[in-house]
A and B are shown apart, each in its own frame.
Chain A
Amino acid sequence: MTMTVHDLGPYLALVLVGFLPNEIWRWLGIALARGIDEGSEVLVWVRAVATAILAGVIAQLILNPPGALATIPLIVRVAAVAVGFSAFLIARRSVFIGVLGGEIALVLGDLAWRW
């Protein structure tokens, strides 16, 4: 339980700690998808849960971000998402414009905040 990457070597650590805890969800997905067909009502519910979990991951990545993103103030991160979403809507639901707008807002917002 207290082993670190130095005890195992980077590739064994990658397989045990990176690959397996990640891929297990895909394998479970294959097992659970058996017997569900395209028109079934369960699938509608599963898709709603998948969308909700994904939304939760997005919220986490914005509110409690990894690495260098944490150096950007919270208010700038949240505002950048709002700008990106508005750009997406204005550009008739273009994902490219939405992402571009959010990125520009993040960079300019951070520069303005520091200045």
Chain B
Amino acid sequence: MEAFLRGIRAALNSVFVYVLAGTYIGYGALSHDLGFSLLWAEVSTAIMWAGPAQVIIVSTLGSGSTLFQAAIAVALSSMRLLPMVVALLPLIKTPRTGYRHLLLPAHFTAVSMWVEALRLVPSLPRERRIAFCNGLGIGLMTPALLATIVGYVLAAKLPTLFAAAVLFLTPMSFFVSTIRNSRELLDRLAFVLGIVLAPLFALAKFELDLLLAGLVAGTLAYGVHRVRGARR
């Protein structure tokens, strides 16, 4: 319980509270403009908890795209969650942790929570880490749910430039927070290669370009890291 509260406190002290507030004001306004109900917007934030995928689903469903196209677009944008969950869970589970105790921290895994968890969890005793992550998740999701309501209510009054500015919060905050967490050459190299290769792979129209670019960039960075390690 103490670790859970510590997680909530860490969330409220995180810069991501502001980022998420802005992002979800934008999301609430977008949901309103595309004809979804406030309850739908709230439920989608709680069960999806992935900003870019949520923007995709309201835009595609709201514009009358087919469900199949929307599902593919969501799946492609959310692929990043897989390696993020795989990188986080081994840090927080104990040999006795069952699957069901991992469902909640995995559900809360999004860029905001992942960045903060990777940074803060190593200083905690292992048996408290899951509770801490759940607190972190609740502490970040609750302001997002409130912001969704605010955006929904204010929607008609928000200018286009504001809508653009809140959508820009996601890439800008992902960019600087990922770099802040990249202390080692490996992380920095993976970041730079990813940001260069992903648009090139997209231009080349490869199937699953994002996944492929990420695998190639991450593996190259890892290779360089191994070669340097062997030389030392």
Do A and B truly interact? yes
Cα separation A44 to B210 with both chains bound (whole Å):
20
Q: Is B123 an interface residue (CB 8 A)?
A: no
Q: Is B3 an interface residue (CB 8 A)?
A: no
Cα separation A111 to B159 with both chains bound (whole Å):
13
* Cβ distance A81 to chain B, nearest Cβ, rounded Å: 6
* Cβ distance A61 to chain B, nearest Cβ, rounded Å: 4
Stretch at the interface among B4-12, B68-76, B139-147: B68-76
Contacts of A16 in B (CB 8 A): 67, 71
Contacts of B190 in A (CB 8 A): 48-49, 51-52, 55
Cα separation A53 to B52 with both chains bound (whole Å):
14
Q: Is B204 an interface residue (CB 8 A)?
A: no
Q: Is B202 an interface residue (CB 8 A)?
A: yes
Contacts of B59 in A (CB 8 A): 66-67
B81 touches A29 (CB 8 A): yes
Contacts of A75 in B (CB 8 A): none
B52 touches A61 (CB 8 A): yes
**Chain A residue with the shortest CB-CB distance to B224:** A48
Give 1 or 0 for each of B90-132: 1 = CB within 8 Å of chain A CB: 1101000001001100110101000000000000000000000
Residue among A26, A52, A93, A110 making CB contact with B85, cutoff 8 Å:
A26
B86 touches A32 (CB 8 A): yes
B175 touches A84 (CB 8 A): yes
Q: Is A68 an interface residue (CB 8 A)?
A: yes
A53 touches B214 (CB 8 A): yes
* Cβ distance A107 to chain B, nearest Cβ, rounded Å: 6
* Cβ distance A5 to chain B, nearest Cβ, rounded Å: 4
* Cβ distance B223 to chain A, nearest Cβ, rounded Å: 9
Within 8 A of B (CB), among A1-42: 1-5, 7-8, 10-11, 13-30, 32-33, 36-38, 40
Cα separation A6 to B201 with both chains bound (whole Å):
35
Residue among A15, A17, A57, A59 making CB contact with B52, cutoff 8 Å:
A57
Assess A49 versus B169: contact at CB under 8 Å? Given A29-B83, A44-B225, A59-B199: no
Q: Which of A26, A80, A88 gathers the greatest number of chain B CB atoms within 10 Å? A: A26
A43 touches B74 (CB 8 A): no
Residue among A15, A21, A63, A106 making CB contact with B168, cutoff 8 Å:
A106
Cα separation A106 to B175 with both chains bound (whole Å):
15
A110 touches B219 (CB 8 A): no
A29 touches B61 (CB 8 A): no
Q: Is B150 an interface residue (CB 8 A)?
A: no
Which residues of B are at the interface with A, using a C-beta cutoff of 8 A?
15, 18-19, 30, 36-37, 40, 43-44, 47-48, 50, 52-57, 59, 61-62, 64-68, 70-72, 74-75, 77-91, 93, 99, 102-103, 106-107, 109, 111, 160-161, 163-165, 167-180, 182, 186-187, 189-199, 202, 210-211, 213-219, 221-222, 225
Which residues of A are at the interface with B, using a C-beta cutoff of 8 A?
1-5, 7-8, 10-11, 13-30, 32-33, 36-38, 40, 43-69, 71-72, 77, 80-81, 84-85, 88, 93, 95-96, 98-99, 102-103, 106-107, 110-111
Given contacts A66-B59, A66-B167, A67-B164, 4 further A-B contacts (CB under 8 A): A50-B86, A68-B167, A69-B167, A111-B161
